[in-house]
Structure 1
């Protein structure tokens, strides 16, 4: 992992900013929110890597010079895992199971989180939704493209339209310029 090299002047600027909570919250509220939340996140299990990520985040999000702050922050944490590029060297921050594992969990008080489920006719999304409904689940967070896009199958979207109500859609969801994805919260109709 490549370390971030800061000048003494920039180190002093960051130290002064981090020492002045009022200024931090006024000038960089999202950075202040992140710093409030970061200690509660599980992280990678590597304290030095987590601290380096936090430093890159604060530096580039508070005016550190960068042509692409996203990759300057995340890039050093990207590693190879076989033929895939992954963040965190291939370690998973939260385990993700398959439908068989999902079936063994109580669902009535859970939220089904579907983030970019496979599309183009792949039934994964509709099968997960059906199993969730059968188990009594009633809340869904969906991040992906609407019906006809690259995520979810038609049966998934048809079931949403029939048995679920859109509770919220994030109007500030950040998406790549070439994608039409959305972030939505759904509740099951009684």
Structure 2
């Protein structure tokens, strides 16, 4: 509720991206893993950051769509501060970095077994490239609306395939032991 309500809603003072990244990325993934394993591993921050970046990508796209209204109503978002053109570059980074971070994580896995299957999420890079290209071609902020669902679904499929990759890795690693 503090995101959009109260005297100082953090979503409208430029902190929304940070809190979404931390809550839906770092806390959800690293916290969830710690909850089940009772062990904190620093390298888990890579896939956690990936999921946080996907969440921020959806938020930023929404903010890009609403940028004109937000500026009129003094709502400070990253998109309203960066402006129309620069927020598109920010969006491109948000949709590219998860692939790099998660691929880095997979390469850090201790066993060679399962590493190839660990990269199955990279198939989504082709879909991401197509969506990024279309997002970058938009001239009117209101035209971002159809891409919200596409980016959210891409984030969901990324999470599922990355999870599948890592579960498959753990399964293969267990068989080898």
TM value normalised by structure 1:
0.26
Higher RCO structure (Cα 8 Å, ≥6 apart): 2
Which of 1 and 2 has greater Rg? Answer: 1
What is the TM-score with the length of structure 2 in the denominator? 0.27
Query: Could you say which structure has the higher strand fraction?
Result: 1
Q: Which of the pair is proportionally richer in helix?
A: 2
